[in-house]
């Protein structure tokens, strides 16, 4: 076999292997690996322990739904939140589980599963800060994470204040929290559970108090100011309906079996 025909033959072999590989992943079946895009760390939804293990509410829900209920393998892929929907649609991963709020703009780009979590946008401040109400935020610096509904909520407040709010957008929520501790912003606007985790871990941080959206909606309102009420969903590429249906059934099953409550209690009622 001369060099040229060798190259041709091996090229054909690789092409065949490639096609076979693709077919494999389309036929689905047991043990198939689902890649999950997620912005890590976003405590307590997805973060690494000091030992390096990935844990969090989303991670355990993924374990329960994908591994236990549906018999898939899964792996998390860390990515930045502001470009996460583009990455999903580019095929970098199969689904997004990243404490993602379901909203209309996003729903035009992706399909969401049934909601699996209710969250509120809230503000955390330093204890002893002179901010005591939403109105006190007029004209100050607030920290948010790029591309989050916290950023959207901050933009809504800025509009309400006729532009008198300076929003600093960080790549990850930890950057915004650092900025709060470092006196660069006076408040961080973000999901209640993540803010709560941060406030719990740091004695000098507390929620901005007051009644808000949640109380207005007559919900079982938390004891701090809520700017918006939102629901999280798992995001799928449009047209991935069969798989989405499967996952919805999985979500329903873990709620039924009490597994969901177990995980919820582990992260939010400890």
Partner 1 sequence: MSDALSEREEPTGASSGLLANDDLVRRIGEVVAGLFLAVVLGVLGWTVFSEVDPDLLQTIFPRFVTAYLLVIRIVIVSSILSVSAGIIVGLARISSSPLTSNVARGYIEFFRGTPLLFQLFLIYFGIPSLWGTGQFPISDWEIPAAVIGLTLNHAAYVGEAMRGGINAVPDGQMEAARSIGMSRVQAMREVILPQAWRNALAAIGNDQIILVKDTSLLTLISVPEIMQVFRSVNSATFDPWTPLVWVCLFYLAVTLPMSKLVGVLEARADWGSDRKSLAKRLGSRMPGGGTS
Nearer to partner 1, 18 or 86 (CB): 86
**Alpha carbons 42 and 56: distance in angstroms, whole number:** 9
Using the contact rule CB under 8 A, the part of the chain among 23-31, 165-173, 211-219, 258-266 near partner 1 is 165-173
Q: Which of 239, 243, 241, 205 is nearest to 224 (CA)?
A: 205
User: Looking at 5, 27, 49, 183, which residue binds partner 1 (CB under 8 A)?
Assistant: 183
49 binds partner 1 (CB under 8 A): no
Between the two ends of the chain, the Cα-to-Cα distance in Å is 69
237 binds partner 1 (CB under 8 A): no
**Residues 133-152: x where in contact with partner 1 by CB under 8 A, - otherwise, as a string:** --------x-x--xx-----
CA 98-111-116 angle, to 5 degrees, is: 50
Place of tokens 């407040």: 157
Nearer to partner 1, 67 or 167 (CB): 167
Nearer to partner 1, 147 or 222 (CB): 147
Smallest separation, CB 107 to partner 1 (Å): 12
User: Looking at 202, 206, 238, 248, which residue binds partner 1 (CB under 8 A)?
Assistant: 202
Residue 112, sorted as left (phi over 0), alpha (psi -120 to 50) or beta, turns out to be beta
206 binds partner 1 (CB under 8 A): no
131 binds partner 1 (CB under 8 A): no
User: Looking at 54, 67, 126, 252, which residue binds partner 1 (CB under 8 A)?
Assistant: 126
Smallest separation, CB 168 to partner 1 (Å): 4
83 binds partner 1 (CB under 8 A): yes
Q: By the criterion CB under 8 A, which residues form the site for partner 1?
A: 81-83, 85-86, 105, 108-109, 126, 128-129, 141, 143, 146-147, 168-171, 175, 178-184, 202, 204
């Amino acid at each position: 076999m001369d060099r040229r025909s060798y190259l041709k033959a091996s090229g054909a072999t690789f092409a065949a292997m490639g096609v076979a590989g693709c077919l494999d992943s389309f036929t689905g079946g047991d043990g198939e690996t689902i890649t999950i895009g997620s912005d890590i760390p976003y405590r307590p939804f997805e973060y690494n322990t000091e030992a390096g293990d990935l844990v969090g509410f989303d991670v355990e829900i993924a374990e329960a739904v994908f591994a236990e209920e549906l018999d898939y393998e899964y792996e998390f892929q860390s990515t930045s939140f502001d470009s996460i929907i583009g990455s999903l649609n580019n095929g970098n991963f199969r689904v997004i589980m990243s404490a993602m709020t379901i909203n209309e703009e996003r729903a035009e780009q992706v399909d969401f599963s049934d909601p699996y979590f209710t969250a509120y946008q809230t503000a955390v401040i330093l204890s002893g800060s002179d901010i005591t109400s939403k109105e006190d935020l007029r004209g100050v610096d607030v920290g948010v994470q790029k591309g989050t509904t916290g950023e959207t909520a901050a933009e809504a407040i800025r509009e309400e204040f006729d532009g008198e709010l300076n929003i600093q957008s960080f790549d990850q929520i930890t950057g915004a929290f650092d900025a709060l501790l470092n006196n660069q912003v006076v408040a961080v606007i973000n999901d209640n559970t993540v803010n709560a985790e941060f406030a719990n871990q740091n004695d000098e941080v507390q929620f901005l108090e007051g009644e808000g959206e949640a109380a207005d909606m007559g919900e079982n309102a938390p004891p701090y100011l809520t700017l918006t009420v939102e629901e999280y969903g798992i995001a799928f590429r449009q047209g991935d309906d069969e798989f989405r249906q499967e996952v919805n059934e999985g979500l329903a099953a873990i709620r039924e079996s009490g597994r969901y409550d177990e995980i919820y209690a582990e992260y939010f009622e400890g």
